[in-house]
Amino acid sequence: MFMPFRRYAEFSGRSRRMEFWSFGLFNLIVYAIIGGIMLGTGASFATLSQNSADPVAAITGVFFSGFGVLFGLYWLATIIPTIAVTVRRLHDRDMSGWWYLGVIVLSFIPLVGFLVSIAFLVIMFLPGTPGPNRFGADPKDPLGAQVFA
């Protein structure tokens, strides 16, 4: 769960599925806790609907007061490791990290973005290429290729 924080901006090498998905689970838990605290301290949909005259001011007030700032700061702290672990996960599939940029760009197209997101999710679930590839040694068995060489 914490390996992407140790490899904060390391875009080279490979990452296993477990590293990618456990980091995603950790982020989901942290965001749920911060969101729960935000709702518990009064940032609810009822508060937003009361300020219906200026909805932008209501949303800004929720996210830039109290725990909303914590939500934004955590997002800023995790955006680089999230991109890095995703690129390393693509490297484990023997794909270039530039595919991730393509997925982000294509996700802005309504129907195509949905299909591309589903395909990207499937790619993230597939196992990595066994043995070393052009991006490095197999993270599941880094010594396996060198044992009998």
Q: Is the pLDDT of residue 149 over 60?
A: no
List all residues 6 or more positions away from 14 whose beta carbon is below 8 Å from its beta carbon.
88, 89, 91, 92, 128, 133, 135, 136, 137, 138, 139
Rounded mean pLDDT, 82-107 = 94
Q: How many CB atoms lie within 10 A of CB 15?
A: 23
pLDDT digits (tens, 9 = 90+) for 19-31: 999 999 999 999 9
> Does 52 have pLDDT greater than 90?
no
Q: In 3D, which of 93, 80, 84, 97 has the Cα closest to residue 124?
A: 93
Residue 22: Cβ within 10 Å count:
16
Please tell me whether residue 126 adopts helix, strand or coil conformation: coil
| pLDDT score of 40 more than 70 | yes
Cβ-contact 14, 30 below 8 angstroms: no
Angstrom distance (rounded) from CA 13 to CA 18: 15
Give per-residue pLDDT as tens, 110-140. 999 999 999 999 999 999 888 888 988 888 8
pLDDT of residue 22: 95
Q: What is the pTM of this model?
A: 0.81
Per-residue pLDDT at 32? 93
CA distance linking residue 51 with residue 24, whole number of Å: 34
- SS3 state at 17: helix
Residue 141 vs residue 80, higher pLDDT: 80
